[in-house]
Homo-oligomer: A and B are copies of this chain.
Amino acid sequence: MLAEEQPQAPLGPKASLQELHFEIEQLDSEYAHVLDNEHYEEFLDFFVEDCLYRVVPRENHLLHLPIAAIHCESKGMIKDRVYAARESTMAEPRTLRHFISNVRVLEVGDEAIRAEANVLIVQTMINRMTDILLSGFYLDRIVRSDGRLRFKERLCIYDSLLLPTSLIAPV
């Protein structure tokens, strides 16, 4: 078992809900920063080994349909995805920017924190104006592992039924 998988109380003894909320906002801000700058090695560090990362249309999520734009059942699968994103030479260069807001802590359990946040991602391609890539929300299971909060599960549930064909990188 890796060090980061040692279970720790997600909410420390003295942490208030407000402090926890602040920590989750910081986690989301760092997450946004890492993806907006394509720091994919650091992106991997946001997840524990045994994790779930999915990018799925809201309709499919509500109807429990399995189809997802991205589906990774482990950190290894996320690593593969990141490699594909980096090596893809077919994709036109673009800059993404994440706006993660309205964090809601749903449950502070013994094993994980369940939280939600709205997300708007805009995309700028070379010589074009900035467009909306997707809107949606993150649905998370967060654990404290190896001294910081990490995702046991992060679902990015987006509002459009259209798959953005350009969705190659993680979001």
List A residues at the B interface (Cβ < 8 Å): 18-19, 21-22, 25-26, 28-30, 32-33, 36, 58, 95, 97-104, 116, 118, 120, 122, 124, 126-132, 134-137, 159-162
Contacts and interface: CB of A to CB of B under 8 A. Distances in A.
Nearest to A28: B102
19 contacts: A18-B22, A29-B101, A29-B102, A29-B103, A30-B104, A32-B102, A36-B118, A95-B159, A97-B118, A98-B102, A99-B99, A99-B101, A99-B120, A100-B101, A122-B132, A127-B162, A130-B159, A131-B132, A132-B132
Given A21-B22, A97-B118, A118-B98, A129 B29 contact: no
